[in-house]
Amino acid sequence: MAANIDEDKVFRTNNRLCYFSNNGAHLAVAFQSNLLIKDAKTFDTRHSFIFADVIQCMEWSPNSEYILCANIRKAIIQVYSVHHPQWKCKLIEGSAGLQSVAWSPDSKCILTTADFNIQISIWNLQDQTVWYIQNLKTSAFDKLCFSPSGIRLAVIVTEENKNTVEIYKTDSWKISRKLICDRLRSIDGIRWSPNDELLCIWCSSTAEPKLIVYSTVWERHVVAFSPLEIAQSTAHSSERKLKGIESIEWIPSGQLLAVIGFNEVIVLLNYVTWTPLSQLYLDPVIRDCNYLTKVYKECTDSGNNPNKCIVSCNERVLREIHERPIYIEIGKKDSSDNFSVAKVNLLEFSTCGQYLAVKHELYPTTLWIWDIFTDYLDYLQLENPVTAIKWSPIRPQLLVFSERTARVYEWSRKGARILPMSKYTSVIDAHWHPTGDKVALCGYNKAMIYEITDIP
C-alpha cells in the first residue's frame, strides 16, 4: 500500500470519528460540534452541519441517506440528511440517559439503549412513534443482535431471575418468538448465522458451558454443543480442551463457527455436524514444529533515513525471525483492575474467510494470523500493544495498529511490512472505503486518507 501523504486529505476529528458512507460516495468527519460531509473522490466539502454539543458518536444509516450524531453524556441525538440538508431530526432520551445508539437495518428507525440497560427505545423517523423493549439483561455480552438480512432482532431479557431470548420482526417491532432455554444455566450471548437461518445462544459458565442453536426454518432448537462433552469424548487426546465459552464468531461463508474459550483455545465447528474440525491454542512459546510458521518481529534497523519527518522502514522494520524457540512477551496486568479475566479482545476473519487474526490480552504486543485452510500461522510481534486490526473489504490484506506510535503495519500473503508515516501523527485505527481502494487512518484527533496504489 502506497503511503503518499496529501495535506488536503488530513482532517481534524473527534476521537476517530471519520467514516465512509456504506455506498462509498461520502466521507463524514466530526470535529468538536461540526459535522462535515465530504465527497469521497475529491474530498471537497458538500455539507456542513452544527450539532447541539460536542459530537461523541456518529453513524451512517445503512442506505447512506442519513447520518446520526450523538452526545452520550447529555443524551442528545440529531439526524441529518445528505440529499435534503435542510431536514433534521432531534431526539432526547431524557432522564433514562443514553448508553448507546444505532440504526435499524432499514434506515427507518433509531434504537437507543438507556443507561444501565433499563430499556431499548425504537424511534420511527417516518411516523414519529416510539416502541420500547424492557428488562434487558445487563450482564449479557451482546445485548442487540440483528439478523444479517435485517428482518429480525434478537435480545436477551431477564424476568423473575430467568433469562430468555426474544425475537422481534423489524417491520412491525412485534415479538414473534420467545425462546426459553432451560438447558442453559444462563444466557450470556447470541449470534446470528450469516444466512439468517440459525441463532446461536450460549452460556459462558466454565462449570456448565453450552451452546444451543435455534433454527428459524424449523422453529426449534436443532443442536447443542458442550465443551465438557467434547473433553470427555477426547480424554486421551493431546489437544488442549476448550474451557468455557467466552464468545463465538461465524466465518463469513457461514460454514464454520469459531468458539473462543477462556483458556486461550479457539475451536472451529462444522455447521453441519457441529463437531470440531480444527483448533488453535495461543501458545506463549513458538516452537520449531512447523517450518511454514513465520514470525515477523519489529526491530530497529541500522540504516539511516535522510528524511527525519518520515518513519522509514530503515528505522523500524518487521524482520522475519528464524530462531526457535521464541517466548512471547506476557503483558503487565493493570494494578487497578483486580477482578477482570484476561480474554481474546481482537478476533476477526478476513473477508474471504481463509484467515483469522487474533489478539489476547495476556500477550498485548503479539498478533496471531491463522490460515484455517492449511493450519499454518503467522505471528506479528510489535514493540507496543496492538490497539486495532482492520481487514480490507475485498482482499486478504490486514492493517494493524499499536499504541504510542506513528507506524502502521501491513500483513498480506506476501509477508508483513511497516508503512512509512508522518512522525507527528499517531495512527491507532482505520476505516476502509467499501471498494478497498482507500482507507481513513485515524489518530486521536486527526485522520488521513491513503490511496491504495500497489495491491499486496
CA-CA distances (angstroms) from residue 83 to 38, 51, 60, 123?
13, 18, 13, 21
Kindly provide the b/e burial profile for residues 161-194, where b requires at least 16 CB atoms within 10 angstroms of the residue's own CB.
Answer: eebbbbbbebeebeeeeebebeebebbbbbbbbb
Averaged over 170-199, what is the pLDDT?
Answer: 95
- Check pLDDT > 50 for residue 308: no
The residue ranges of DSSP E strands in 171-240, in sequence order, are 174-180, 189-192, 198-203, 210-215, 220-225
d(CA 81, CA 392): 28
- Check pLDDT > 80 for residue 219: yes
Residue 136 DSSP code: B
- Check pLDDT > 70 for residue 153: yes
| Boundaries of every domain in the chain | 8-88, 287-302+314-332+341-455
Domain 287-302+314-332+341-455: give its CATH architecture: 7 Propeller (2.130)
Q: Which of 115-119, 154-158, 279-283 has the lowest mean pLDDT?
A: 115-119
Q: Which of 56-60, 304-308, 392-396, 437-441 has the lowest mean pLDDT?
A: 304-308
d(CA 18, CA 449): 10
- Check pLDDT > 90 for residue 292: no
Confidence (pLDDT) at 256: 97
Averaged over 279-303, what is the pLDDT?
Answer: 87
Confidence (pLDDT) at 421: 74
Taken as a whole, the chain contains a residue count of 456
Domain 8-88: give its CATH architecture: Beta Barrel (2.40)
Averaged over 60-73, what is the pLDDT?
Answer: 97
Confidence (pLDDT) at 9: 85
- Check pLDDT > 50 for residue 109: yes
Percent of the chain with pLDDT over 70: 90
Confidence (pLDDT) at 69: 98
Same fold for the pair 8-88 and 287-302+314-332+341-455: no
State the CB neighbour count (10 A cutoff) for residue 48. Answer: 11
- For the chain, the C-alpha Rg in angstroms (whole number) is 23
d(CA 103, CA 109): 6
CB-CB contact of 430 with 439 (8 Å)? yes
Confidence (pLDDT) at 309: 42
CB-CB contact of 108 with 126 (8 Å)? yes
Confidence (pLDDT) at 141: 59
Confidence (pLDDT) at 424: 60
Averaged over 358-382, what is the pLDDT?
Answer: 97
Averaged over 193-222, what is the pLDDT?
Answer: 95
- Check pLDDT > 70 for residue 313: no
- Check pLDDT > 60 for residue 154: yes
- Check pLDDT > 90 for residue 161: no
CA pseudo-torsion sign 189, 69, 108, 130: positive
C-alpha cell at 94: 431524557
pLDDT 10s digits, 229-284: 876 666 545 578 899 999 999 999 999 999 999 999 999 999 999 999 999 999 99
Average pLDDT of the chain is 90
- Check pLDDT > 70 for residue 31: yes
CB-CB contact of 341 with 262 (8 Å)? yes
- Check pLDDT > 60 for residue 35: yes
Q: Where is pLDDT greater, at 254 or 5?
A: 254
- Check pLDDT > 50 for residue 126: yes
- Check pLDDT > 50 for residue 200: yes
Confidence (pLDDT) at 239: 73
- Check pLDDT > 80 for residue 402: yes
Identify the band that residue 314 occupies on the pLDDT scale cut at 50, 70 and 90. very low
Task: Give residues with Cβ within 8 angstroms of 80, minimum separation 6.
Answer: 35, 37, 47, 49, 66, 67, 68, 69, 87, 88
Confidence (pLDDT) at 41: 94
Confidence (pLDDT) at 312: 45
Peptide bond into 325 cis (omega under 30): yes
- Check pLDDT > 80 for residue 437: yes
C-alpha cell at 230: 467434547
pLDDT 10s digits, 38-54: 999 999 999 999 999 99
